[in-house]
Amino acid sequence: MIKFWRGRAVQRVIFALLGLVLAIGLTVIPAFSQTPPNPFRVATEATFPPFEFQQGGQLTGFDIDLMRAIGKEADLNIDFRNLPFDGIIPALQARTVEAAISGMTITAERAQAISFSRPYFRAGLAIAVREDNQTIRNFEDLKGKRIAVQIGTTGALEATKIPGAVVSQFDSAALALQELINGRVEAVVNDKPVTLYAIKQAGLRRVKVVGELLTEEFYGIALPKNSPYLQLINDALGRVIESGQYDVIFRQWFGEKPPELPLVAPALKNLQESRFNWGELFYNLIVKGVPWTILLTVLSFLFGLIGGTLVAIALISPYKWLKIICRIYVDFFRGTPMLVQLFLIYFGLPGLFREIGLNIDLDRLPAALFALSLNVAAYLAEIMRGGIQSIDNGQWEACSSLGMSPVQTMHEVIFPQAFRRMLPPLGNEFITLIKDTSLAAVIGFEELFRQGQLMVATTYKAFEIYIAVALVYLVLTTLSSLVFKRLEIYMDPLHKSKQEQKA
């Protein structure tokens, strides 16, 4: 027994467990204690000017100045954490941040998952259209139209209620506006001050705001449900408003006198039950999401195989220029992140085409397929080149002495052997591709991952939903690896000869 406890492995496990308990204690205890932690972590999504954005590498904006003033009043050492907007509520629930200030509208649904401070800003939604658009003037006119919004926002919620509207959801308001400029949607529904700021200050061209404030919304500072610091923040915010500091910050950013603010947001008066059910989750993931994930994977793998084969042949050809061009292509697509490639193709190319007078528009599916296939082809080309070159050169000579042509040699002798060697890396590539299709979510593609994200944005059940998403991916990748394993066994000559012996 003593020997057992003295064992090195056992000691290591005990130390690791002690470390884990200590680490959990250090993160959990401050959440329950009443003295505010130092630093006091505040989440924000810094692509929402003039409320929060980066300027010259510094975080700035109305919310940032206000939160800093609140921090001073409450004696808090504020540490801002930049998060995606739809990740803020889950982060508060997980208590990885103590609060959030991010132009977040106080809504009854959100108030069930988190707590809000008293309102600190009066805003509302507005419709943005291109300057030459004369047909959209109000919410009624948006029926059946193509609309871009930011995921998880009140704008997204309102847009999805419009009958017949086709709504594309992006990670930031800026990307939704880019979609409008690129001409793929007819309108953007977003917070009015942000759209106005983008047009006036950030030089967003060819876009105008139509309609008055569609809704009246109030922003609040968000905290985890029953946070012990709610009172502290509310008191400090009250002092910032009453002492006139609020007035100064408001005028600095909006150049006018601030409006009156209520003590409680009107939205909190009609609390409704937020709905989450597993049936709906699995319906959305499996029926709505999985088919797109499979389609994206299978088609881009197929295009990648065709493109990859051609590039591999070019790479082993004797033509120097062809080789150089293909090498640059392969190195570019393997050496840059797939996410950047997707943005480049979807958001960048249409602008470039327009600048040079071409009216080519890439829709979401072709853009995603294009980016994924180009990326996969680069990897597959290398796998194939390696596979073909791994076959002994002597075989080419032997075939040629038997009078076989190079095409015949490749087809009948080299490729069948090389293919067997390529199968395991090809299988890996396929599995990587299944997972990489989730990147298409950033261009608003509603595949498996995006379906999960959309549900988190309305139900705030991040853990349950993302675990379900992960499990569905796991099923897809496990099934694919089984298929590739079978294929490997099937292609194995030993297996074949055994089969023949049996027959």
Helix axes 62-74, 245-254, angle to 10 degrees: 170
Going 346 to 202 to 457 to 209, the CA torsion angle's sign is negative
Structure tokens at 354: 């327009």
Closest listed residue to residue 145, CA positions, set 164, 170, 126, 173: 164
Q: In angstroms, what is the minimal distance from the CB of 36 to ligand GLN? A: 24
Closer CB to ligand GLN, 154 or 182, in the complex: 154
Going 273 to 278 to 283 to 289, the CA torsion angle's sign is positive
Q: In angstroms, what is the minimal distance from the CB of 47 to ligand GLN? A: 8
Closer CB to ligand GLN, 173 or 180, in the complex: 173
Helix (H, G, I), strand (E, B), or coil: what is residue 325? helix
Q: In angstroms, what is the minimal distance from the CB of 108 to ligand GLN? A: 13
Task: Give the separation between CA 200 and CA 202, rounded to whole angstroms.
Answer: 6
Task: Give the separation between CA 179 and CA 159, rounded to whole angstroms.
Answer: 15
Q: In angstroms, what is the minimal distance from the CB of 45 to ligand GLN? A: 5
Closest listed residue to residue 267, CA positions, set 214, 212, 218, 213: 218
Closer CB to ligand GLN, 106 or 181, in the complex: 106
Closer CB to ligand GLN, 85 or 139, in the complex: 85
Q: In angstroms, what is the minimal distance from the CB of 439 to ligand GLN? A: 21
Contact 149, 188 (CB under 8 A): yes
Exposure string for 470-493, b = 16+ CB within 10 A, e = fewer? eebbeebeeebeeebeeeeeeeee
Q: In angstroms, what is the minimal distance from the CB of 29 to ligand GLN? A: 31
Q: Which residues contact residue 242 at a Cβ distance below 8 angstroms, ignoring those fewer than 6 apart? A: none
Closer CB to ligand GLN, 81 or 327, in the complex: 81
Q: Which residues bind ligand GLN (CB under 6 A)?
A: 45, 48, 85, 102-105, 150, 153-154, 173, 191
Task: Give the separation between CA 173 and CA 184, rounded to whole angstroms.
Answer: 15
Helix (H, G, I), strand (E, B), or coil: what is residue 136? coil
Q: In angstroms, what is the minimal distance from the CB of 218 to ligand GLN? A: 9
Return the residue nearest ligand GLN (CB atom): 153
